[in-house]
Structure formats: structure tokens, C-alpha cells
Chain A
Amino acid sequence: MKRAVVANGNEMVVEGAIDAGCRFFAGYPITPSSEVAEGMARKLPKLGGVFLQMEDEIASIACAIGGSLGGEKTMTASSGPGISLKQEGVGLACIAEIPLVIINAMRGGPSTGLPTRIAQSDIMQARWGTHGDHPAVALCPGSVAECYTETIRAFNIAEELRTPVYVLSDAFLAHLSTKVELPGKEELKIANRLRPTVKPEEYYPYDTRFGDIPPLADYFSGYRFHVTGLNHDKTGFPNIDPVLQESEEERLINKVLKRQEAISTYENYKLEDAQIVVVAYGSNASGAKEAVDAARESGIKVGLFRPITVWPFPSIPFQEVAASAKQIIVTEVNLGQIVYEIERIMLGGRAVTEIRNGNLIFDTRHPRSSAELSTVLQANGTPIRPNQILSQIKEVA
């Protein structure tokens, strides 16, 4: 049964986390994400869960990693400077393959930047923020309601893939209070990490006999194992054998790439006959939709491609759209991030479906796009107005 509530994005993140089964949160206050911590602080004790306000963001992600190994679904939330501080922890969760959800209510930057103002400037950080080769999954809710559903999906992906997952909301969504309709609880799909069934003496934390995402035991459950941020073998102990490390590094990334068709969700809006394609994501997509609607009214064949998952980017669906387009307009609340991915795809840069023995395996189904690319970018702390997008549509129509 559908549920109607009035809430903002931060509150919906909290609801989503709780409904996904998150019972452990560690964070540090920062605008505009603080209400996520406050919401978790209200809810978790009632549910017998753990809420910790740690001494900083580094401690917060480290603590959430510990809680996850302790068997809980865990989350941390932050913005701007706090997300920068978490980066080393993100890498630890990637290599040690520890499920974890990181909420980033994006704000203007760099540095302290524009704390209360909107930005979408952490898109590339979510992909490459921590050092070293690593997988990345980042979801970008486009509405307050999606703050709920995408947070649940983030937990599901984190659990199923044993990897950290970002939810990238922004200052606008975080604080936008609106009426939202949520799916009924009975409709929710909730995933839990695979736990081992073998005898403890036969258990290894990175044992690919059980697939490319090995089961993960909880600490103190009788399976004693070792976890390290060093490159390791199936037993979890340090190992520098180049042959093994090549396949392990590739496995880490491939576990995401091989599932990108399922993970990389997107929305096609009025694209059937579109010659102009607007690309927008997150809260910025609602303004883009308005612009598309207005342009349609004046007879312009325009539509919107909205990635909901930004990493891995839904390249194949975008290629399909781009192939027949004449004009592509990328709009984002930053000075150019996703546009680089878009341009790469348009120039024939294909989706990578796998990394095999040092070779990128490309999806070769789709041709390059001969469309022209233009942008509507802005990083002044205010949302991009539908009119700005509309005039660009008219400009290229």
C-alpha cells in the first residue's frame, strides 16, 4: 500500500535506511547533511540500534566499517569537506570488500565553499576520490521520494556486492520539504549480504569458489578471519603475487562492471522522437524536465536522459539515445563533470563491460554519436533555472 508523507530529502534518506535494515550509523555534523544524523539519532535508539557521533568524519567511516564487520548494515553521512576526509576509509571498504552506505548531500566547494548552497560537484570524487584502482557505485536521487528508494537500493547493492555505495543528494533535495508518495513496505525488496555456510575451518573471506562476491562472515560468529587494507589473497592475508593481484584487482572492479545493466538505472523522458537530448541528473533534472515540457509546447523535439545511477554510468542506454540525436545538452550544477563522460561516449568511447588480463573489454554494439554537444553549467550556489536550459534548447533547435 502506497504511503503519502511530507518530508525533505534528508528525512527520506533516514526512512530509507531504516526500512533497508540499517541499525548502525556513525557520523559527524555538517551542513547540509546534518538532519540525516539527527534523524538516525532519533530512530536508532528506539530500534535498539547504534548511533554514534564520532570525533570526525575519518572516525565515522572507520567506525561504520567496524560495525559492518560486526554484522550490521551501516551508514555514514556527510557533505563537502567531510566527504573529502572520508576518502581513505572508502578505499579500505573497497579493498576489504565491506558493505557500507555513504550519504553525500553535495554542497558548493572546494573547501568550506558554499555550505548551505546546492552543487553537484562531487560526481568525479565519487568515482575517483580515494587513491588506487577501485570500484565505484554512486546513485543520484532526482527527487525527495527517490532519496528514499535510492537509499534502499544503495543498501541492497552494498550488501549484494560487498562494496561501499554512495548516495549523492544535494543541498536542495536535502532541505526541500514536499509531499511524497512512497512505495508500500510490502513492495520493498531488501537484500542481505551472503554469509558463509561452510565449516569455519573451510571459510576464507575472499574465497571465489562461491562466485566473484564471496560470502562475508560476521565477526564473533565462529568464523575467525583476517581483514587488511593491504592487497591480499583469498585468506585475507597480505600477498603481492602479481598474477594473483592482477586478477584480484580486476575482480574488485568487474564485480560492479558485470552487473552494470542491473545497477545503472536511468530515466528516458520524452525521448522517442527527440532530436535534442538534455542530460541532467539529481535535483537539476526536475528543472530540465520543465524546460523539456516547455520546449515541447513550442514544437521542439526534445527529451531528457536522466542517469539515476551515475557510476557506473548507464553508457549503453545513453549511446542508444545519443546515436539518433542531433544535439546533446548536458546540464549540471558544477563546472563540468558528467559532461566529460558524455563526451567520451559520444566520441565512440564505449561502455567497459569488464577488465580482462589488463584489457578493457568494450561493448561494441553502439556507434559513435554525430550529435553536437553543448552545456548549461553553473556553480554559483543556486539551482539552474528551467529558463536557462530552455534557452539553450531553443538556441540549438
Chain B
Amino acid sequence: MSVEYENYLRMNKFPHYWCPGCGNGVVLKAFIQAVDELGWKNNDIGMVTGIGCSSRASGYVDFNTMHTIHGRALAVATGIKMSNPSKHVVVFAGDGDASAIGGNHLIHACRRNIDITLIIINNWIYGMTGGQYSPTTPTGTIATTMPYGNADPDFDLASLTIGAGATFVARSSVADPIILKNYIKKALTHKGFSVIDAFSNCHIQWGRKNKFGDPVKLVEHIKSVTVSAAKAKKMSPEELKNLFVTGVLYEDKDKKEYTESYFDMVKRAQSQTKGGR
């Protein structure tokens, strides 16, 4: 089961831009393994990203790739998917990219249930711009724009996307790369809008300010704040209070996928002689 990574990577773009030990590489690797296991052809995959450390992923993979503008990757991806509905479209986004500036596009991509896979590298911080707080920065922790401890409530992106209508939502982390890969694989094959909330370590911008400057320690910390869905079942709401549940958190195979709904409407339009003058 060894993956020929060179088949998927633009080798001349290395060494990569990320800090040593950054979780972005772990998530990207899990994604490539999933693609490899599925046997998808590079030509048939589009990867769209916004702006952020995580969004640099699109530069490293030998697919049809676009590094767009901050927050707008899902909207661009929607255009790419609608013009090529038979192709695979994947979006990598940071927590800020996906849920702050791109929050509106996120909820509407979920609502449409368009067949795109969104992989959120959720490192709880604005990594690229130097450690300002994001919607997922844990309350009480330090960020450059919350130097006295984050006063904002933090977002649970799984609940958000389930509520907005995504039909496959899973959470995992860089602490469990094989499980992460398996969830990504499921998300990629799911027909509809799928979301992976991948907790990841930014030990540089979040970690250093919060006593987790060492990547290993931060990954351990991520482990300590997550609990698998199986274990969570046996726990009380009180015990679960400060924990994030991992696992496939939601799956709906019945809700109609958007490109199908759209092109069904096209058929209806074409069979009508009236209207659409």
C-alpha cells in the first residue's frame, strides 16, 4: 500500500512553504492517500483554495488548481463544478477562510448540497497573518488580537455545516492521520457536499502563545480535547462540555445533490415549449 507521492505532487515546488512540523502537510498527505486509494486521475481533479497557510496546498498538487482570494474558494469551486459536473472538485480552506470571511459561501454550499468536498484545516488561528484570533480560536486562549484571552465564543464547524445542510460531515485531526484519510476518502466518494473538519496544529501562531510551541505537545493537546463518537456516546453532557467529538458526525445519502437538481431543471426547461421566452 505504498503511495507514489511524486505522481500527485509538483515536485519542483518543494521545499514547501510551511513551517517544520505544521499540520498542513499531514492533512495534504492524508488527502493524497485517499485520492490514490480511489484511483482518481489527476486530470479529473480540481483543487480550489482561498488564502492562508492551508490554502497554499493547491500549489503543491498536480491537479487543475486555483489559489483564489480570501474566503471565496467555495464560490469559485461552485463555478468550476457547475461547468464540469462530472469532475471532482475539492476545496482546502483554513478555519478563518472557511468560516469567517467565507462563512456565507460555506453555509450556501452546504444548503445547495453541491458535490464538492471541503477540507477545513482547522488550526484555531489565522496562521498566515501572524496569529490573530479566528472564529474557532478556543475561548480564553491568547491571540495577537486577543492578548488578554479570547472573549469570543468559538464555532463548532461540524454543527454549523450539519445545520446548514451538508450531507457528509466528519471530524478528525492530524493526531489520527489514518482515520483522517479514511474520512477524506468517504467524503470524496460521497455524492453531495461533504465537509472534513480537520483539527491541525499551528504550533507557531497559536501554539507558542498558548504554551504549545512544540508541535508534538500541540498534537497531544489536540488529542486531549477530542473524543471519538463511540466514546462520547457513553459520556454525560457534563463530561463532554469542553470536548470536540470526532468521527463521521453526519451522513445523509438521500438529499438530492445540486448538479443533479440543476440539470433536472434544465431537462424540465427544455421539455417545455412555453416560458423562458
Binding site for B on A (CB under 8 A): 24, 26, 42-43, 45-46, 48, 50, 52, 54-56, 58-60, 62-72, 74, 88-89, 92, 219-220, 222, 224-230, 237-238
Which residue of chain A has the shortest Cβ distance to B88 in the bound complex?
A220
Which has the most chain B C-beta neighbours within 10 Å: A48, A59, A74? A59
Which 10 pairs show the lowest CB-CB distances between chains A and B? A66-B79, A70-B83, A45-B269, A62-B75, A67-B79, A63-B79, A59-B75, A66-B76, A228-B67, A42-B276
Residue contact B75 to A45, C-beta cutoff 8 Å: no
Report the nearest A residue to B60, measured CB to CB: A226
B57 → A minimal CB distance (Å)? 11
Residue of A nearest to B79 (CB): A66
Is the C-beta of B141 less than 8 angstroms from some C-beta in chain A?
no
When the two chains form the complex, which single residue of A46, A63, A89 contacts B69, counting CB atoms closer than 8 Å? A89
Complex: A63 Cα to B79 Cα, angstroms: 4
Separation in Å of the A212 CB from the closest CB of chain B? Answer: 23
Per the 8 Å Cβ criterion, residues 24-61 of B in contact with A are 42-44, 46, 48, 51, 58-59
A92 touches B83 (CB 8 A): no
- Give 5 A-B contacts (CB < 8 Å), ordered by A residue: A45-B265, A45-B268, A56-B104, A88-B69, A227-B67
For residue B155, CB closer than 8 A to chain A, the reply is no
Chain A residues lying within 8 Å of B82, measured Cβ to Cβ, are 24, 50, 52, 63, 66-67, 70
Given contacts A65-B76, A224-B42, contact A45 B270 (CB under 8 A): yes
Partner of A66, one of B43, B62, B77, B268: B77
Among A67, A88, A222, A237, the most chain B Cβ lie within 10 Å of the Cβ of A67
The answer to whether A62 and B43 touch (CB under 8 A), given A69-B66, A227-B65, A238-B59, is no
Are the CB atoms of A226 and B69 closer together than 8 Å?
no
Closest to B271 in A: A46
Contact B64 A219, beta carbon cutoff 8 Å: yes
Supposing A48-B266, A70-B84, A224-B42 touch, asked if A24 and B67 sit within 8 A by C-beta, the answer is no
The interface bits of chain B over 124-160 (1 if a CB of A lies within 8 angstroms of the residue's CB, else 0) are 0000000000000000000000000000000000000
Is A229's CB under 8 angstroms from B68's CB?
yes
Given A67-B83, A71-B83, A220-B43, the answer on whether A59 and B108 have CB atoms closer than 8 Å is yes
